[in-house]
A and B are shown apart, each in its own frame.
Chain A
Amino acid sequence: MNNTFNLVWLIPTLPLLGFLINGLGRKSLSKSASGLIGSAVVLGSFIISIMTFIQVKQGHTGVIHFFDFLRVSGLKVAFSFQIDQLSSLFLLIITGVGFLIHVYSTAYMHDEEGKDFAKYFAYLNLFVFSMLLLVMGGNFLILFVGWEGVGLCSYLLIGYWYENNNYTDAAKKAFVMNRIGDLGFLLALFWLISKTGSMEYSQVLNAASLAKLTTFDITGITLLMFVGATGKSAQIPLFTWLPDAMAGPTPVSALIHAATMVTAGIYLIARSNILFSSALITQQVITIIGLATAFLAASIALKQNDIKKILAYSTVSQLGFMFLALGTGNYVAAVFHVLTHAFFKALMFLGSGSVIHAMGGEQDIRNMGGLHKHMKVTSITFLIGCLAISGIPGFSGFFSKDEILAGAFGYNTIIYGVALFTALMTAFYMFRLYIITFTGKFRGTHDQEHHLHESPAAMTIPLIILAILSIIGGYIGIPEVLGGHHELAHYLSPIIPTAHHSLSHQTELMLMGLSTALVLGAITFAWIRFRNFKAEQSNGGLSSFLENKWYVDECYEWIIVRPIKKASSLFQHILENRIIDGSVNGVGKLVNYGSRQLRWLQSGQVGAYVLLMVLGMLLLFVIQFFVS
C-alpha cells in the first residue's frame, strides 16, 4: 500500500467521531456546538476525499488493509478499503453533498430542542460513516456492513419524530423492505463464496474468477444482487418504502433518499459490472424493471399533491432510468446520472425543504402558489433543478439523461420510446409542481401568508451551490457529438470498460433534438394546464388510480401482510396451543386419568384381590407355556 493514502482511514473515522461526540454528549452539547461538530467532521472528510480524488486522478489506486474481519475455515475477509476511480467519485458526492446538507440542517432543524438536535446530527454522521464504509469497502462484506448500516440510519432518521406512529411505521417499512433485499444480497454473497471462495473485489471481480463461474452461477448471483439493489434503490417490487420515507426531516430525504443511499444499488452493480455484463438475462431483467419503475413512478408523480411525495416518486423514476442504463450495459451513463441527479435532486429537496420551512410545515402544493415573490432564491434554484431534471440542454440532467436514452435506443427502440415518454412525464410533473407552487397567487391561510419569508443563509447558500453544480455538473461528461470527450468515461475506464458506441452521430443528434423538442412541448403544456390552477377534486378513474399509486400498497397488504398475520395467529392458536403443547399436556392428563381409573382395581375387597392374583397367575402360566 503506497503511503499516499495514509489519511484515507480518517474519511470514515471523522464522521464516526462526530457520531460518538454528538451521541454521547447530546445532553451537554449546545445546539451550535453539535451542529458545528456535525458539519465540521463531514467537511474534514470532504477535504480528504478531494485529496484522495486528486491522487486517484493521478493514477494512484490501491487497497488499504487494516485487519482481518473474519478468518475462518478457508474464508478470509479483510477489513480493507479500496480506493479507486469509482469509490473516490462516490466519496466526493457523499461527503460534498453531505456537507452541504449538514450545513443546511443546522438551520432547518433549529426548532428542535438541544438533545434531539444533537441526536439528529449523530444519526446523520453515522449515516455518512456507513455510506462511506459502503463505497470504500474493499470487499462485498464491508460493503454489506455499510449497506445495512445505511439501512439502520435511514430507519432511525425516518422515525426521527418517533412520537408519530405513521412515521415509525414508515421507518419500519423502510427497514423491513431493505432487509428483504439484503437477504437476496446475502444469498448472492454465499453463492459467490461457495464458488470462488472469496469476497475481495480484487480476487472476485476479474476474468480469472469469472472462469470459475458457469453462466447459471453468474445469472443467479447477479439476479440476487439485483434483488438487493431493488431493496436499497427502491425499484419494483420493493419501491413503496421510499415515498413513505418522506416522513423524515427534509434534509434527510435530500441526503439519504435522493443523493446517496438510494444510489447504493447502482454503485453495487457498477462496481461488479464485470459480472453483470456477462449475465445477459440479468441485464434484460434489470432493463425491464428499471424502465417499468421509471414509468410507474413518473405516472404516479403526475397526480401527487404532496411536494415531497412528488419529489420522492421522481427520485424513484430517476433511479429507474439509472437501472435502465445499467441494464443496457451503459454503466458510465448510470454513474453519470447518479452524479447529476445527486446535485439537482438534492437541490430540489432542499428547496422544497425551505418552502416547507417557510410555509410552517405545510406540504400540500394546492395550498401554496405564488411563492416566487416571497422567496426568490429558493424559487430560482428550484427552477434550475426542474430544468436540469427535465433535461433542457445546457443543464447537467440533459447530458446524463440523453446518454441513457441514447443507450436505450441502441438497445431497443420500443424501450427507447417508453423511456422518452417517461422523460416527458418527468418534465410535465416537475413543472406542474413548480408552476403550482411558485407562480400564480397564494392559496394558503392568511397567517401562513404574512409568515412567508426567505430562508436564512445557512439554507440558501447550499441551494445556490447545488444550483451551480446542477448546471455545470454535466460538463464532465460531454459526449463526442458535442465536441467534448467524455471526461467521466475516461476517468472511470479502469473500472468500467467504456460502452461501445454503436450509434452514428447523426442519429444521436437527432435523438437529442427530438427529446429536447418534446420536453419543451411538455413544459409548455404544463404551463397552459396549470397557469391558473384551482384546487379541484380529481376527475375520472385513471387519475384516481394514479393518485392511489396504482394500489400497490394495498396489493402488498392483501397478498403478503394479511396472509402472514393470519398464518401466525393460526399457528399460535391451532398448532402451538392445541396440537404441540396439547399433546405434551395430554400425556400428563392421560397419566391423571389412568391414575383415577386404576384406583378402582384397589377395591379393598380381599376376594377381588385374590381373584386378580389368580387371574395373574393364569396369565403367567399362559405366557410361560402357551405363548411360544
Chain B
Amino acid sequence: MNISTIVFLLLSLMAVGSALMMIISKNPVHSVLWLILVFFAISGHYILLNAQFLAVVNIIVYAGAIMVLFLFVVMLMNLNADTEPIKNYRMQLAGICSGGTLLLILVLLTNRMDVEQLVQTNVGDAGLIKNLGMSLFKQYVLPFEISSVLFLSAMIGAVVIGKKEETIDQNTNS
C-alpha cells in the first residue's frame, strides 16, 4: 500500500463519484461542472502515469476549451433544472440494468487474463513532450496533416449549420 496506490484510489473515487453526479444531477450546468471535475481527476491519473503532456492538454483543451464551449451553449439556451419534466422509469431501469450487465461482463472478461501485468507509474519517458513531439512530427506526420481536413470540414459544418436561415416549413418530404 504505497503512496501511489492511495493516490490512485483517491483519484478513482473522485472520478467515478463526479461522473455519477454528472449523470444524476438535474441541472445541465451542474453536469458540465461535474464532468470538468472528472477531467481533472483523469488528468491526475495522467500525471500519476507520468504522461505530463496529455495531462496538460487534457486540462487546457478539454476542461478548458471544450467544456467552456458546452457551458456557453447551455447558458445560451438557459436550460434550467426542469428540462426533463416527465421521467421514463422503465427506460431508466432498463438502461441501468443493461449497463450494469455490460460492466459485469467486461470486468469478468478482464479477469480472464490471469497473468499479472504491471503498469509503470511515476517514471518512464514515454509521456514526455520531447518524445511525443518527435514521433508526432516524424512518424505521425500524415495523420497530423490529415486531421487538418477534419478540422476544415468541422469548420465548414459549423458555418453551414450555424448560419441562421429563414422560415421553417414543417412538411417537405425531401
Direct contact of A and B (CB under 8 A): yes
In the complex, the answer to whether A611 meets B91 with C-beta atoms within 8 Å is: yes
Q: Among B91, B98, B105, B106, point to the contact of A615 (Cβ < 8 A).
A: B98
In the complex, the answer to whether B91 meets A614 with C-beta atoms within 8 Å is: no
Other than the known A607-B91, A617-B102, A621-B102, what 7 A-B pairs have Cβ atoms closer than 8 Å? A611-B95, A611-B98, A614-B98, A614-B102, A622-B105, A625-B105, A625-B109
0/1 interface trace, chain B 83-109, chain A, CB 8 Å (1 if under) = 000001001001100110110011001
0/1 interface trace, chain A 433-459, chain B, CB 8 Å (1 if under) = 000000000000000000000000000
Task: Please measure, in the bound complex, the distance between the C-alpha atom of A608 and the C-alpha atom of B91, giving whole angstroms.
Answer: 8
Q: Cβ of A514 < 8 Å from any Cβ of B? A: no
In the complex, residue of chain A having the shortest beta-carbon distance to the beta carbon of B99: A614
Task: Please measure, in the bound complex, the distance between the C-alpha atom of A124 and the C-alpha atom of B161, giving whole angstroms.
Answer: 97
**A1-60 residues at the B interface, CB under 8 angstroms:** none
Q: What is the interface residue range for chain B against chain A?
A: 10 to 19
In the complex, how many angstroms separate the beta carbon of B9 from the nearest chain A beta carbon? 28
Q: What is the interface residue range for chain A against chain B?
A: 10 to 19
3 cross-chain pairs, A with B, having the tightest CB-CB distances, nearest first:
A614-B98, A621-B105, A607-B91
Q: Cβ of A75 < 8 Å from any Cβ of B? A: no
Q: Cβ of A580 < 8 Å from any Cβ of B? A: no
In the complex, how many angstroms separate the beta carbon of B23 from the nearest chain A beta carbon? 13
In the complex, the answer to whether B94 meets A611 with C-beta atoms within 8 Å is: yes
Interface residues of B (CB under 8 A from A): 88, 91, 94-95, 98-99, 101-102, 105-106, 109
**A598-618 residues at the B interface, CB under 8 angstroms:** 607-608, 611, 614-615, 617-618
For residue A615, which residues in chain B have a CB less than 8 angstroms away from its CB? 98
For residue A625, which residues in chain B have a CB less than 8 angstroms away from its CB? 105, 109
Q: How many residue-residue contacts, CB under 8 A, span A and B? A: 24
In the complex, how many angstroms separate the beta carbon of B100 from the nearest chain A beta carbon? 11
0/1 interface trace, chain A 617-628, chain B, CB 8 Å (1 if under) = 110011001000
In the complex, how many angstroms separate the beta carbon of B111 from the nearest chain A beta carbon? 12
Task: Please measure, in the bound complex, the distance between the C-alpha atom of A617 and the C-alpha atom of B106, giving whole angstroms.
Answer: 11
For residue A621, which residues in chain B have a CB less than 8 angstroms away from its CB? 102, 105-106, 109
For residue B105, which residues in chain A have a CB less than 8 angstroms away from its CB? 618, 621-622, 625
For residue A618, which residues in chain B have a CB less than 8 angstroms away from its CB? 98, 101-102, 105
Name B's interface SS: helix
In the complex, residue of chain A having the shortest beta-carbon distance to the beta carbon of B94: A611
For residue B109, which residues in chain A have a CB less than 8 angstroms away from its CB? 621, 625
Task: Please measure, in the bound complex, the distance between the C-alpha atom of A611 and the C-alpha atom of B97, giving whole angstroms.
Answer: 10
In the complex, how many angstroms separate the beta carbon of B64 from the nearest chain A beta carbon? 29
Task: Please measure, in the bound complex, the distance between the C-alpha atom of A614 and the C-alpha atom of B96, giving whole angstroms.
Answer: 11
In the complex, how many angstroms separate the beta carbon of A581 from the nearest chain B beta carbon? 39
Task: Please measure, in the bound complex, the distance between the C-alpha atom of A611 and the C-alpha atom of B98, giving whole angstroms.
Answer: 8
Task: Please measure, in the bound complex, the distance between the C-alpha atom of A611 and the C-alpha atom of B94, giving whole angstroms.
Answer: 8
**A549-593 residues at the B interface, CB under 8 angstroms:** none
Task: Please measure, in the bound complex, the distance between the C-alpha atom of A25 and the C-alpha atom of B88, giving whole angstroms.
Answer: 94
For residue B94, which residues in chain A have a CB less than 8 angstroms away from its CB? 611
In the complex, how many angstroms separate the beta carbon of B102 from the nearest chain A beta carbon? 6
For residue B88, which residues in chain A have a CB less than 8 angstroms away from its CB? 607
Task: Please measure, in the bound complex, the distance between the C-alpha atom of A152 and the C-alpha atom of B102, giving whole angstroms.
Answer: 83
In the complex, residue of chain B having the shortest beta-carbon distance to the beta carbon of A624: B109
A/B interface sample: 5 pairs, CB < 8 A: A617-B102, A618-B98, A618-B102, A621-B105, A621-B109
For residue B99, which residues in chain A have a CB less than 8 angstroms away from its CB? 614
For residue B106, which residues in chain A have a CB less than 8 angstroms away from its CB? 621
In the complex, how many angstroms separate the beta carbon of B95 from the nearest chain A beta carbon? 6
In the complex, residue of chain B having the shortest beta-carbon distance to the beta carbon of A610: B95
Task: Please measure, in the bound complex, the distance between the C-alpha atom of A617 and the C-alpha atom of B102, giving whole angstroms.
Answer: 8
For residue A611, which residues in chain B have a CB less than 8 angstroms away from its CB? 91, 94-95, 98
In the complex, how many angstroms separate the beta carbon of A485 from the nearest chain B beta carbon? 109
Task: Please measure, in the bound complex, the distance between the C-alpha atom of A615 and the C-alpha atom of B109, giving whole angstroms.
Answer: 17
Task: Please measure, in the bound complex, the distance between the C-alpha atom of A621 and the C-alpha atom of B109, giving whole angstroms.
Answer: 10
Task: Please measure, in the bound complex, the distance between the C-alpha atom of A607 and the C-alpha atom of B89, giving whole angstroms.
Answer: 13
For residue B98, which residues in chain A have a CB less than 8 angstroms away from its CB? 611, 614-615, 618
In the complex, how many angstroms separate the beta carbon of B51 from the nearest chain A beta carbon? 29
Task: Please measure, in the bound complex, the distance between the C-alpha atom of A618 and the C-alpha atom of B106, giving whole angstroms.
Answer: 10
In the complex, how many angstroms separate the beta carbon of A367 from the nearest chain B beta carbon? 88
In the complex, how many angstroms separate the beta carbon of B54 from the nearest chain A beta carbon? 28
0/1 interface trace, chain A 492-529, chain B, CB 8 Å (1 if under) = 00000000000000000000000000000000000000
Task: Please measure, in the bound complex, the distance between the C-alpha atom of A618 and the C-alpha atom of B109, giving whole angstroms.
Answer: 13
For residue B101, which residues in chain A have a CB less than 8 angstroms away from its CB? 618
In the complex, residue of chain B having the shortest beta-carbon distance to the beta carbon of A608: B91
Task: Please measure, in the bound complex, the distance between the C-alpha atom of A614 and the C-alpha atom of B94, giving whole angstroms.
Answer: 11
Task: Please measure, in the bound complex, the distance between the C-alpha atom of A625 and the C-alpha atom of B106, giving whole angstroms.
Answer: 11
Task: Please measure, in the bound complex, the distance between the C-alpha atom of A618 and the C-alpha atom of B97, giving whole angstroms.
Answer: 12
Task: Please measure, in the bound complex, the distance between the C-alpha atom of A607 and the C-alpha atom of B94, giving whole angstroms.
Answer: 11
Task: Please measure, in the bound complex, the distance between the C-alpha atom of A625 and the C-alpha atom of B109, giving whole angstroms.
Answer: 8
In the complex, how many angstroms separate the beta carbon of A600 from the nearest chain B beta carbon? 15
In the complex, residue of chain A having the shortest beta-carbon distance to the beta carbon of B95: A611
Task: Please measure, in the bound complex, the distance between the C-alpha atom of A304 and the C-alpha atom of B104, giving whole angstroms.
Answer: 100
0/1 interface trace, chain A 353-397, chain B, CB 8 Å (1 if under) = 000000000000000000000000000000000000000000000
In the complex, how many angstroms separate the beta carbon of A378 from the nearest chain B beta carbon? 95
Task: Please measure, in the bound complex, the distance between the C-alpha atom of A116 and the C-alpha atom of B91, giving whole angstroms.
Answer: 89
Q: Which of A608, A614, A617: most chain B CB closer than 10 A?
A: A614
In the complex, how many angstroms separate the beta carbon of B48 from the nearest chain A beta carbon? 30
In the complex, how many angstroms separate the beta carbon of B59 from the nearest chain A beta carbon? 30
For residue A608, which residues in chain B have a CB less than 8 angstroms away from its CB? 91
Task: Please measure, in the bound complex, the distance between the C-alpha atom of A617 and the C-alpha atom of B101, giving whole angstroms.
Answer: 11
In the complex, how many angstroms separate the beta carbon of A617 from the nearest chain B beta carbon? 7
For residue A614, which residues in chain B have a CB less than 8 angstroms away from its CB? 98-99, 102
In the complex, residue of chain A having the shortest beta-carbon distance to the beta carbon of B105: A621
In the complex, how many angstroms separate the beta carbon of A287 from the nearest chain B beta carbon? 90
In the complex, residue of chain A having the shortest beta-carbon distance to the beta carbon of B108: A625
For residue A617, which residues in chain B have a CB less than 8 angstroms away from its CB? 102
